[in-house]
Amino acid sequence: MYAIIFDEHDLGKPAKKVTSVHRTRDSAETELSEHRKTHGKKVEECNMRVVWVEKKIKTGDSVTPAQFETWRPGEPVPEGETHADED
C-alpha cells in the first residue's frame, strides 16, 4: 500500500509518521500535490513524500526506513528518478 509520510531526513529520527494511506500511487501523488498547493510549498520545501509499505498500516502509524521503499517492487520508475541530480 502507498503512504504519504512526514520525512524530515533527520537520521536521529528514524520513525516517520504516516499522514495518509492510499491504494494507488496516483491517488497518493494527487493528495500530496493538493497539500503542496494549499500550503504553498514546492517539492524541495515539503517534508512529505510517497512511499510503498508492504505491511498493513493506517494514518497516524509510524514506519521506519526498513519498512518502506520509495518504489513498489516491480513498479516502473520514471527515468528522471533513476539518476542523481548532480553531474
**pLDDT, mean of residues 16-45:** 87
Percent of the chain with pLDDT over 90: 54
Res. 46: pLDDT tops 90? no
Decide: 78 and 33 in contact? Cβ < 8 Å.
no
Give which of 71, 48, 63 is closest to 2, Cα–Cα: 71
pTM for the whole structure: 0.82
Q: What is the pLDDT of residues 31-45, one digit of tens each?
A: 999 988 887 766 667
- Look at residue 5 and give its three-state secondary structure: strand
State the pLDDT confidence band at 26, using cuts at 50, 70 and 90.
Answer: very high
Q: What is the pLDDT of residue 16?
A: 95
Distance CA 63, CA 26 (A): 21
Q: What is the DSSP string of 6-26?
A: E----TT---EEEEEEESSHH
